Structure 1
Amino acid sequence: MENSVVSPLTGSKNIAVVETFSVDQIVREWQDLLRIDISSEFEGKDISKFDLYRCNDTNLLFFHPQLEGSPFIYQGLQDGFEWYYVEDKWEYEIALKEIRNSKSCLEIGSGSGAFVKKALGINTKIVGLETSSDAVEKARQANLPVYLMSFDEGVAMLGAQPDVVLAFQVLEHIANPLHFVKEMVRVLAVGGKLIICVPNADSFYKYGGNVLDMPPHHQTRWSLETFKKFEALFPLKLTKVAYEPLNHWHTESWLNENMKFYRNNKWYGNLLFNRVSVRVLRKILNSRMRSIFRGHTIYVSFEKTQ
């Protein structure tokens, strides 16, 4: 273990290596599975592997070394896969109910403004912040208030500290999550809500090595256990937790990851996932009954206490 590696959430060295992924393997899987050549992401960088660590104090999973992906990979995913930027997300409907009586909202990582548009539709005052100039331009063309600016500039546009700050599917991409969360909490009004949605590390994702759930795409992996630790790290109180029902985009991944895990690790795996049961499961997964299974995302809401 490198002596310089610490938890990006606590700064502690109370960490342990969980798994190692080679850069060659990651580049090959992006090419084979996604038809995107990401070799340029590693040019000029002395990186041959990524170690996945666990922070033993918070259960946060994080990668070292840190390497945030360039706009190129996100554009490639957006252009190649309709599931990557979906305008109607499960978490949006949950959040809209929470913000209905709010005075103002600040969304971090708004993309081209899908949630901003929905919030405006219920007469919520909202400003969205985004780092992609292309996404900001698309939002501008749609007359949506999404801007390429700092947190403080976003607050200034609102005219006061927002009583809701939101980040949907953003935190897992950030190499320095401690600073990012501190900034969200700092600009949030006391008594306000911080809403965060991320892939759930305790979902079916935990069974497989999803190439999108590692650098240069994802930097960290989050679970409810980690979010519960926020109360000791920030002036926050956890007030709501929700889990996405299994989405139709993820049915094959859910089946394949569970089947592979149980067949390889449990004595009853081949009995549980046999030829007949897999056919039945596929029918269930392709129907509305799939909602009985837990899906991709965890939604958490906090209240700022001071």
Structure 2
Amino acid sequence: MNIKSPLTQFNDVELVSTLSVKKLIDDWQQAFQIKISDELYKHSEIQLYRCNQTRLLFFHPFDTAGSDKLYEQLEKFDWYYMPRKWEHDVAIEDLQDCKKVLEVGCGQGAFVERLCKQIQLDAVGIELNSSAVNFALNKGIPVIKTNLDSFSEHKASYFDAVCTFQVLEHVSDPFSFIESMLKLIKPGGKLIISVPNSESFSKYSPNNLLDQPPHHMTRWCQTTFDSLTTIFPLKVEKFRIEPLAKYHVEWYLSIQIYRLFKLKLIRRLALRSSNFFLRPILKNIPILRNPITGHTLYVVFTVKS
């Protein structure tokens, strides 16, 4: 089988690992009580590959990306559409000189609402999840239910900036996705992207279900984003790496304990001790969390004229 990178369209790729679809289905049912067999029924295995030119990690087959139905089930968890994220605060600073801003995959519209009310921008979001769109519209937030391809055909070179937060990793065709976003941006405008950082502590998680199909289709690092400047008319303006977030402290500690101790009994004892001693310290003293590489990688590009 001739597997090609979804970014470069070249077959300079290497196999990293293979996932059992049956195990994924069982694990999702146990962890989230969500049935994903309808999402993956065509396949018995899913492969993770690395693009050697860009260092992008991607899952194949490409048709294992989750449907709208999957996201409607995930939004029942209060942690799924977080109204305020670290990257939102950073992006607010980077959008001060913009007037028209689009957020792609805006969920329930929390960031769009902040742009409109906090810094009075002409902002709009697009989203595919009908339930999330209805939630936003009921709050008076300007969110449109549409896909990126069709929207980009009608708003070419219209926006000063396009943002997308924790969305790119869900897309099985990142080249087309980025290309469509670029159509929407004026020359000299900004493209702002945040994704889970594949070089963060989470890469050591033994079975991170949300970082696999049908949820995530790609994994990104700073090297991969740097490589986009050789594929698209883009210039990197800045990278930011999120420090360890307060709400990720338990996850971070559990991963470190899993790495350090092999015996289950020792792990349980270590986890209990860390919850008693380390967890409250890390949660309550931000200066101790700041040196730790957190979940999110944030990048600002300028679109070349």
- TM-score relative to the length of structure 2: 0.89
1:114-170 per-residue CA deviation (whole Å, 9 max, x = no partner) reads 111000011101121111222222222222111023547756987962110100111
Q: In the alignment, is the contact (CA less than 8 A) between 2:200 and 2:294 conserved in 1?
A: yes
SS in 2 for 1:286: helix
User: Partner letter of residue 33 of structure 2?
Assistant: R
User: Partner letter of residue 252 of structure 2?
Assistant: W
After superposing the two structures, state which structure 1 stretch, 106-115 or 275-284, moved more.
275-284
Alignment of 1:228-239 (within 5 A): 228-239=226-237
Report the Cα distance in structure 2 between the residues aligned to 1:252 and 1:55, rounded to whole angstroms. Answer: 32
Q: What are the ranges of 5 or more consecutive residues in structure 1 without an aligned counterpart?
A: 265-269
2:123 is aligned with 1:126: yes
Aligned to 1:89: 85
Q: Post-superposition shift, 1:35?
A: 2.1
2:56 is aligned with 1:74: no
Aligned to 1:298: 297
Report the Cα distance in structure 2 between the residues aligned to 1:152 and 1:274, rounded to whole angstroms. Answer: 47
CA shift in 2, pair 1:39/1:155, >3 Å = closer
Q: In the alignment, is the contact (CA less than 8 A) between 1:236 and 1:305 conserved in 2?
A: yes
Report the Cα distance in structure 1 between the residues aligned to 2:8 and 2:298, rounded to whole angstroms. Answer: 22
Aligned to 1:99: 95
User: Partner letter of residue 23 of structure 2?
Assistant: Q
Q: In the alignment, is the contact (CA less than 8 A) between 1:162 and 1:192 conserved in 2?
A: yes
Q: Post-superposition shift, 1:178?
A: 0.4
Q: In the alignment, is the contact (CA less than 8 A) between 1:68 and 1:219 conserved in 2?
A: yes
CA shift in 2, pair 1:277/1:254, >3 Å = closer
Report the Cα distance in structure 2 between the residues aligned to 1:111 and 1:6, rounded to whole angstroms. Answer: 31
Report the Cα distance in structure 2 between the residues aligned to 1:239 and 1:144, rounded to whole angstroms. Answer: 30
Alignment of 1:151-230 (within 5 A): 151=148, 154=151, 161-208=158-205, 209-230=207-228
CA shift in 2, pair 1:96/1:139, >3 Å = same
Give the one of 16, 19, 25 matched to 1:18. 16
Aligned to 2:26: 28
CA shift in 2, pair 1:192/1:283, >3 Å = same
CA shift in 2, pair 1:136/1:275, >3 Å = closer
SS in 2 for 1:31: helix
1:160-203 per-residue CA deviation (whole Å, 9 max, x = no partner) reads 62110100111000010000011111221111110001101000
Aligned to 1:257: 255
Report the Cα distance in structure 2 between the residues aligned to 1:142 and 1:280, rounded to whole angstroms. Answer: 42
User: Partner letter of residue 160 of structure 2?
Assistant: D
Report the Cα distance in structure 2 between the residues aligned to 1:114 and 1:55, rounded to whole angstroms. Answer: 34
Q: Post-superposition shift, 1:20?
A: 1.0
CA shift in 2, pair 1:109/1:183, >3 Å = same
CA shift in 2, pair 1:260/1:154, >3 Å = same
Report the Cα distance in structure 2 between the residues aligned to 1:158 and 1:145, rounded to whole angstroms. Answer: 16
Report the Cα distance in structure 1 between the residues aligned to 2:157 and 2:202, rounded to whole angstroms. Answer: 39
Q: In the alignment, is the contact (CA less than 8 A) between 1:127 and 1:157 conserved in 2?
A: no
Q: In the alignment, is the contact (CA less than 8 A) between 1:127 and 1:158 conserved in 2?
A: no
Aligned to 2:36: 38
Q: In the alignment, is the contact (CA less than 8 A) between 1:58 and 1:225 conserved in 2?
A: yes
SS in 2 for 1:229: helix
Give the one of 109, 133, 137 matched to 1:136. 133
Report the Cα distance in structure 2 between the residues aligned to 1:170 and 1:95, rounded to whole angstroms. Answer: 15
User: Partner letter of residue 115 of structure 2?
Assistant: A
Q: In the alignment, is the contact (CA less than 8 A) between 1:188 and 1:304 conserved in 2?
A: yes
Report the Cα distance in structure 2 between the residues aligned to 1:249 and 1:206, rounded to whole angstroms. Answer: 17
Report the Cα distance in structure 1 between the residues aligned to 2:129 and 2:174, rounded to whole angstroms. Answer: 19
CA shift in 2, pair 1:280/1:7, >3 Å = same
Q: In the alignment, is the contact (CA less than 8 A) between 1:107 and 1:165 conserved in 2?
A: yes
Q: In the alignment, is the contact (CA less than 8 A) between 1:106 and 1:164 conserved in 2?
A: yes
CA shift in 2, pair 1:68/1:54, >3 Å = same
Aligned to 1:111: 107
Aligned to 2:144: 147
Q: What are the ranges of 5 or more consecutive residues in structure 2 without an aligned counterpart?
A: none
Q: In the alignment, is the contact (CA less than 8 A) between 2:81 and 2:108 conserved in 1?
A: no
Root-mean-square deviation (CA, aligned residues, Å) is 2.3
